[in-house]
Structure 1
Amino acid sequence: MAVFVDGQHRTDYGRIVLTTDNVLHSAERVQNTPSRADGINYEDERDIKIIGCELIQASGLLLQLPQVAMATAQILFHRFYLVKSLVIHNYEHQAMAAIFLAAKIEEHPRRIRDVINCFHHIKQVKEKKTPSPLDFTGTLYVKQKNDVIKAERRLLKELGFCVHVKYPHKIIIVILSLMLEQSQNTELVQLAWNFMNDSLRSDVFMRYAPDQIGCACIWLSARIKKICLPENPPWYELLDCSREQCEEISRTILNFYCIPRPNAEKLERVVNAAKEAYELKKSFNEKSKRELKEIKKQESASNFSPLDPNRNKDSPHKPKLSPGSLINNKLSKLAENGSSESHKNGGVRRSKHHSPRRRYSPVSPPRRKHDRYSRKKRRSSSDSESSSVVRKRKHRSKRRVSSSSDDSSSSSDSEAAREEARKRKHEEKKKLADAKKLQEKIKLLEKEKERSKKEKHEKILRDPGKEHRHKVR
């Protein structure tokens, strides 16, 4: 692209290349379309595209558009459904948008109201109803108008606003008049022209260049009319076309005439069934994503929350404690150790002298009253031996009663402890089983997510429309 910048001639400014070569694809790419991935087989997809092209041709005749505009609309229709699916986007709306856009491209614009009325008229004739125009103030007309405008924007967006189309119609006339000197043979010219118009309904224009298609149409019509064309050297090689390509294009065009007439009602049922399956799959994917997010949130909360009692203590993500809390923890541990030692030694903890800081510490254990006053107790020397004997007997009887009560309480305590241990084990087993189930569910959801990602990746690989748009820019 040549541009003058600061008085200098620059040819590399912008690096924009406008060509029709980036809209050609291989046979595998043309067959593996998004519609095939959404559950529509090759025959049904081909029949739906044929019906859409027939609608474009019929509406173009009613709108009195030139053949060039109808050819542009059909090629744009094929290019769009090479990138998008018939399940998601209605082919009637896209056909209306294609003819409406092609009329503007070829400088024969038509009103959107006329386009909608033409398609409505064709539908009424097929259903054998009395034709009547749509009320432009009604809801049906307004809805269809909005659908067509959205479809036109979508068409431009998916094609990257590259709507340039090269036609082989002029090539046929030029080749027959200049190279082959057969312009006077009207039957040959008309037959090649008919083959050209019929090939617009197939996927030939997605796989071959317009020059090659024009050569194949002339070659096929000459063989049918039994007209000899120069073969030494072959005339089609001047247009970068080989004999194999002519045969392949001719075979595709002839196979088109062997296809039975498609049934629109049957195809609508097929599309509706595929649309229901697509919606179910989409809802299931959204639900699984939501569940996976919730499970991950629960896991993160259970692993990293310092307030969770079931948190794994050996996990590397432990909450950091402040210096004050560390000191309180150490003091509480020391207090617990001291109380346990005192219980081991005699059951009753003996009082010790504490410093004022230790005495008033909130963590220090409470003192008992009888320990405090035990130091002040002094036995009087006036107690007789009889009173001491009686006191000893009472003490012995109390010890016996306390020992029997301790035995019974210890047995009951041991049974309660066993019951609590059983309950704890049962709860731990239940938690382990729940954790295993949760992990299995997470694995299944992650597998489903990986599979959906793989399908998206395969769709992107099968979807060359975007990379070709980037090439065009």
Structure 2
Amino acid sequence: MLSSQTKVAGSPCSFASVTSSDKVVSSLSEDERKSFSTCLFLTTCARKLDLSSITWCTSCWLFHKFSSAVGSEDYDEYMAAMASIFLACKIDDSPIKIRDVINVAYRTLHPDRPFLEINETYSQLVDSLIQFELFLCRILRFQLSYDNPHKYLLHYLRSLCDWLYPRQETQTFCKMAWALLHDCHYSKMCVTSRPDHLALTVCYIALEALQMKVPLEEHCEKSWWKLLTHNLARRDNSLPHNVSVFVDDIQLSDITLLADQMLLLIENERFIK
């Protein structure tokens, strides 16, 4: 039974006490399963709040960053998730009303209960969420800037799609790479791994899964991800002209290690409800 108090932050109220199933057969640790389940809850709330993908990614990053910092300390993961959403909206300049955050979280956890009224419980939840948001900022030492890997992926896809053919297959490739990178935010990979390495790895997995080859790669001295090109920089004035659209400081062993972690996460997803 998870604690009904937010022990770390010392806040007086939480969203729920939940008993988790013991019959889970997966290779993920208890902390990893807990983190994944909380991100599923966070995702559900983000969709109900109509948040953008960027804000959702930022909120997942904040949650994983916080949970990594506090370790196995006793804290209410649902309050941490909603505080991450509330803070991410401020960071991405898409503010949201605190009552919407609280009502969505409460209805997601308690769909069979009556709507939450403006009463003492509601006031306690408001106070707890505000206090937890401040606590989260202090734990992260107010370092709240997220280097989102999706911006790297966009540049990589733009360059790769100029090489790949046929065109109809490149659309499937882009969708698969984007979905894989999206799934990485359900785990702490978005915190522990470099964003450009994550973006490159999902491109590698998508190419392998679709059995697509980069044309003339076998005739190059370097692998496609180490190739330096200035074409993208010339097309996009917002980028420096010495930009490298791929990563030149990553080895195949690094890519396969990240790929194994991503595929393990997807494999274990069916065990976590």
Q: CA deviation at 1:85?
A: 3.7
Secondary structure of residue in 2 paired with 1:191 = helix
Q: Specify the alignment match of 1:134 in structure 2.
A: 116
- 1:172 and 2:153 matched: yes
Work out the CA distance in 2 between the residues paired with 1:205 and 1:64: 22
Q: CA deviation at 1:180?
A: 4.6
Work out the CA distance in 2 between the residues paired with 1:82 and 1:170: 24
Match of 2:261 among 252, 261, 274: 252
Question: Following superposition of structure 1 onto structure 2, how do residues 199-348 of structure 1 map, counting pairs within 5 Å?
Answer: 199-229=184-214, 230=217, 232=220, 233-237=222-226, 238-239=246-247, 240-259=249-268, 260-262=270-272
Q: Specify the alignment match of 2:54 in structure 1.
A: 68
Work out the CA distance in 1 between the residues paired with 2:197 and 2:183: 15
Q: CA deviation at 1:205?
A: 1.9
1:147 is aligned with what amino acid?
Answer: S
Q: CA deviation at 1:66?
A: 0.5
- 1:160 and 2:141 matched: yes
Q: Structure 1: where are the runs of 5+ without partners?
A: 1-41, 264-473
Q: CA deviation at 1:86?
A: 4.5
Secondary structure of residue in 1 paired with 2:271 = coil
Contact 1:236 / 1:242 at 8 angstroms: preserved in 2? Answer: no
Moved over 2 A (4+): 85-88, 229-232, 260-263
Q: Specify the alignment match of 2:107 in structure 1.
A: 121
1:45 is aligned with what amino acid?
Answer: D
Contact 1:101 / 1:152 at 8 angstroms: preserved in 2? Answer: yes
Work out the CA distance in 1 between the residues paired with 2:196 and 2:104: 33
Which structure has more helix as a fraction of its residues?
1
Q: CA deviation at 1:177?
A: 1.6
CA shift in 2, pair 1:87/1:208, >3 Å: closer
Work out the CA distance in 2 between the residues paired with 1:58 and 1:92: 12
Secondary structure of residue in 2 paired with 1:257 = helix
Q: Deviations over 1:153-211 (max 9, x none)?
A: 01100111111001121222221222452494111000001100111111212222100
Match of 1:96 among 79, 82, 85: 82
1:197 is aligned with what amino acid?
Answer: H
RMSD of the TM alignment (CA)? 2.0
2:259 is aligned with what amino acid?
Answer: S
Of stretches 92-101 and 77-86 in structure 1, the one that deviates more from structure 2 is 77-86
2:132 is aligned with what amino acid?
Answer: A
Work out the CA distance in 2 between the residues paired with 1:143 and 1:227: 55
Secondary structure of residue in 2 paired with 1:258 = helix
Secondary structure of residue in 2 paired with 1:110 = coil
Larger radius of gyration: 1
Q: Deviations over 1:241-261 (max 9, x none)?
A: 221111111111110122243
Question: Following superposition of structure 1 onto structure 2, how do residues 360-371 of structure 1 map, counting pairs within 5 Å?
Answer: none
2:213 is aligned with what amino acid?
Answer: C
Q: TM-score normalised to the size of structure 2? A: 0.75
Q: Deviations over 1:98-140 (max 9, x none)?
A: 0000011111111111011111121124xxx26x43112x121
Secondary structure of residue in 1 paired with 2:93 = coil
Q: CA deviation at 1:262?
A: 3.1
Work out the CA distance in 2 between the residues paired with 1:121 and 1:243: 46
Q: Deviations over 1:304-338 (max 9, x none)?
A: xxxxxxxxxxxxxxxxxxxxxxxxxxxxxxxxxxx
Of all paired residues, the percent bearing the same amino acid is 21
Work out the CA distance in 1 between the residues paired with 2:177 and 2:85: 24
2:128 is aligned with what amino acid?
Answer: D
Secondary structure of residue in 2 paired with 1:141 = helix
Work out the CA distance in 2 between the residues paired with 1:47 and 1:253: 15
Work out the CA distance in 2 between the residues paired with 1:74 and 1:66: 12
CA shift in 2, pair 1:54/1:194, >3 Å: same
Match of 1:53 among 9, 24, 39: 39
Work out the CA distance in 2 between the residues paired with 1:202 and 1:86: 16
Q: Specify the alignment match of 2:17 in structure 1.
A: none
Question: Following superposition of structure 1 onto structure 2, how do residues 423-462 of structure 1 map, counting pairs within 5 Å?
Answer: none
Q: Structure 2: where are the runs of 5+ without partners?
A: 1-27, 227-245
Q: TM-score normalised to the size of structure 1? A: 0.44
Q: Specify the alignment match of 2:176 in structure 1.
A: 191
1:192 is aligned with what amino acid?
Answer: A
Higher relative contact order (CA 8 A, sep 6+): 2
Q: Deviations over 1:45-79 (max 9, x none)?
A: 11111111112211111111110001001011111
Secondary structure of residue in 1 paired with 2:144 = coil
Work out the CA distance in 1 between the residues paired with 2:56 and 2:146: 12
Work out the CA distance in 2 between the residues paired with 1:122 and 1:167: 27
Match of 1:112 among 85, 98, 105: 98
1:144 is aligned with what amino acid?
Answer: L
